[in-house]
Structure 1
Amino acid sequence: MAEHGRVPDVVDLARELVRLDSENPPGEEAACARFVHDWFAERGVDTELVEEPIPDRPQVAARVGEGDPTLVLNGHLDVVPADDPAEWTHEPYAAEVEDGRLYGRGAADMKSGLAVGMVAMLELREELADGDLDGSVVFHGAVGEETAVPGTKTLLERGYDGDYGVVLEPTDFRVATSAKGLVCYEVTVEGDPSHASRPDQGRNAVLEARPVVDAIETYDRRLREREDPLVGQAYANVTRFEAGVGGNLGVLPGTAKLVLDRRVLPAEEIADVRDEVDALLDDVREEHGVETRVEEIQRYESAAVDSDCELAETIRDHTAAVTGERPDPWGIEAATDVRNLVNDAGMEAVTWGPGELAQAHTYDESIAVSDVRDGLDVTLRVARDVLDGAE
């Protein structure tokens, strides 16, 4: 195992970041963005608060070095809500360390990844300034990743792009060269409200929605036959259903709304997915007389680079050197902002980072402190390699 002389800095920083509540929704990244910005500024790093795309939810970018090649270290500031604190053994924002693990909302997803990127920037700045390395490193602290806000995309459009990119999400040090996408549709099912004492006078939208749900279940079974060797199967699921909420208990609801969550493989296009959904709803209307409206409410495009691209191989090599295990080719089933680096900026980019993806969004979310340390080691090794410097 490698020596970890800088570990206290990166672990302490991860704890400070976890203590900052940056839940999304509702979108409270501002305090975390200002902390990251000030942390860089106090250390003389060129940094900027970017008040786009949402003015009251700033994000942060930083840069060290000049010229090419440029490596982008990407992370997001937001975390999903902690929900019921009573379900946590460790307080969600106490950032407690126990038995070698850091606990708290965002510990894995992905305040530790942010800390790794921040400390790596400082270390690399000195080596770039001394001429030991060529090129530059860019840091992203993006907003809204958990709800598909185009934070990373905006930072790229503002010029914080590069040749190579690492999205520091928790992957247990596996190198994801592809990422599954998703698109969510809100489907509104039309009924006809009536008093519950006269149910035959109207059409209950809950019952009208039944063939829609059945059709989605059938669609999902067909989709599972589509499979990507790295990210697995395509899926379609109903993730939300709402009808009669807030109304009188004695009224049959006139509308029902459901969310169709469609997981998209790298070989699929979202435009084609929409055609499939439209055809599915047309069939329901023709067979059952059910009228619907559909609206896209969220999307994350899929993305992929060659599984044996130079960056992926470099990260695998250095991961093996630090952890003793060389990861096999892999794709991440969750959607990440790597799509913006690959699809929008044309970069060679992967998703890789410390921590286990299974810890994301859970009660008592945690990360092994040793993973944070190793994450910094590998990131520095990779950056030095990419920037043509001597290790």
Structure 2
Amino acid sequence: MDAELTEIIAELVSRETENPPGNERRAAEYVHEWLTDRGVDAELVSEPYEDRPQVAARVGEGDPTVVLNGHIDVVPAGDREEWSRPPYGAEVEDGRLYGRGSADMKTGVAVGMKALADLKAPIESGELGGSLAFQAVIGEETAEPGTKTLLERGHDGDYGVVLEPTGMRTATSEKGLAWYEITVAGEPSHASRPTQGDNAISNARPVLAALEAYDDRIGEREDDLVGRAHATVTQIEAGTKENVVPEDAVITVDRRFLPDESADQVDAEIDDLLAEVEADHGVETSWRRTRTYESAAIDPDSRLADVFREASAERADVPTDPWGVKASTDVRNFVNDASIEAITWGPGDLAQAHTYDEHVELADATAGLRALEDALGTLLDE
């Protein structure tokens, strides 16, 4: 295990950066200080939000430029009683470091920081060509424009590596994600006179049935790398009091879509679905899309992907077949918004993300660092 890498991971995990509300500042300041102390040209960027700085850093001036990207926000720790260790204690036991964000994705951020510092000397001496950039971004967990803003401000390059925990598998595509709130209308009345009103919960039944049928239907759509499409009802909210017939019900749908689908296409499908329910059942509905992560994909046989597959296989028992990630990441900002060839790749187990007792295997983190530096050495030396 790399002792300095472990120290960086622990320091990042111990700085609580839950989003919401979005309090990444202490982690950003640590990253900035750590890099500048090692002579790396780094800056705190107060965009898109003044009170939530991001870090942009760079070594070298040549081509190509590889951008390493990681988000410093984490999902809330939830019920602290469910954790066997303090979620921000960064405790190490049996080769594992525990804490919220240890897997998703402060280990990736730490690996990027360490690689930047380690490769500074060979890049600046000319031993390695090209240049290396690094981004520690805010707001990934809530689809905020942290990465997008840095890319728009010129903190970009020729290749991108989003250091999410993929077990060091190289993902060249990912699903998109759209969240929908569907409001089903009713009419309130006292529960002692239920027929005087119009129960929104009852009205929601045909909507729920239509959504279930929709999920079955789109499940026939499948991508070789990321699997099938999904539409999953994740929340239902209705009612104001025990003795009041509810006047509306709000259904939340998590729609995972494939690289050849788009959010606009899904919008049209939701529109058609609800129009059919209204026509068949006389139910009044409205909807809005509340959050969007577009899907993204590059050529699975790209040079960038091949280099990372080979480097990972050299350092660990990692499959080298083409692969895609079912979650959504900021790789979409590189591919879709900035037209930069990019992959999702990093040490750690994605199954640990957002769990109680989240942890990372420190041996995997070290193997990831070595594989990353190997891959960067190959890319920058071409």
TM-score range, shorter chain: over 0.9
- Would you say 1:349 and 2:342 are equivalent positions? yes
Q: Between 30-39 and 284-293, report the one with greater CA deviation.
A: 30-39
1:54, CA displacement in angstroms?
2.1
Name stretches of at least 5 consecutive residues in structure 2 with no aligned partner: none
Normalising by structure 1, report the TM-score: 0.96
1:191-340 alignment runs, 5 A limit: 191-244=186-239, 247-340=240-333
Q: Does the aligned pair in 2 maintain the 1:145–1:336 contact within 8 Å?
A: yes
Q: Which amino acid aligns with 2:226?
A: V
1:118-129 alignment runs, 5 A limit: 118-129=113-124
Q: Which amino acid aligns with 1:301?
A: E
- Would you say 1:8 and 2:3 are equivalent positions? yes
| 1:381 alignment partner in structure 2 | 374
> Which of 136, 141, 145 pairs up with 1:146?
141
Using the alignment, how far apart are the partners of 2:375 and 2:322 within structure 1?
17
Using the alignment, how far apart are the partners of 1:59 and 1:215 within structure 2?
43
| 2:48 alignment partner in structure 1 | 53
| 2:352 alignment partner in structure 1 | 359
1:253, CA displacement in angstroms?
1.4
Name stretches of at least 5 consecutive residues in structure 1 with no aligned partner: none
Identity of aligned residues (%): 57
Q: Does the aligned pair in 2 maintain the 1:317–1:326 contact within 8 Å?
A: no
Alignment deviations for residues 270-307 of structure 1 (CA, whole Å, 9 cap, x no partner): 11111001000000100111111111100000000111
Using the alignment, how far apart are the partners of 1:191 and 1:273 within structure 2?
26
Using the alignment, how far apart are the partners of 2:210 and 2:109 within structure 1?
42
Q: Does the aligned pair in 2 maintain the 1:266–1:303 contact within 8 Å?
A: yes
Alignment deviations for residues 115-154 of structure 1 (CA, whole Å, 9 cap, x no partner): 0000000011111111111221111111111111111101
Q: Does the aligned pair in 1 maintain the 2:232–2:254 contact within 8 Å?
A: yes
Q: Which amino acid aligns with 1:362?
A: T
SS in 2 for 1:209: helix
Q: Does the aligned pair in 2 maintain the 1:189–1:256 contact within 8 Å?
A: yes
Alignment deviations for residues 280-337 of structure 1 (CA, whole Å, 9 cap, x no partner): 0000100111111111100000000111110110001111111144432110000010
Q: Does the aligned pair in 2 maintain the 1:173–1:327 contact within 8 Å?
A: no
Using the alignment, how far apart are the partners of 1:150 and 1:197 within structure 2?
49
SS in 1 for 2:172: strand
> Which of 87, 91, 96 pairs up with 1:92?
87
Using the alignment, how far apart are the partners of 1:268 and 1:357 within structure 2?
24
SS in 2 for 1:362: coil
- Would you say 1:137 and 2:137 are equivalent positions? no
Q: How many residues align?
A: 382
1:55, CA displacement in angstroms?
2.0
Output the aligned Cα RMSD.
1.1
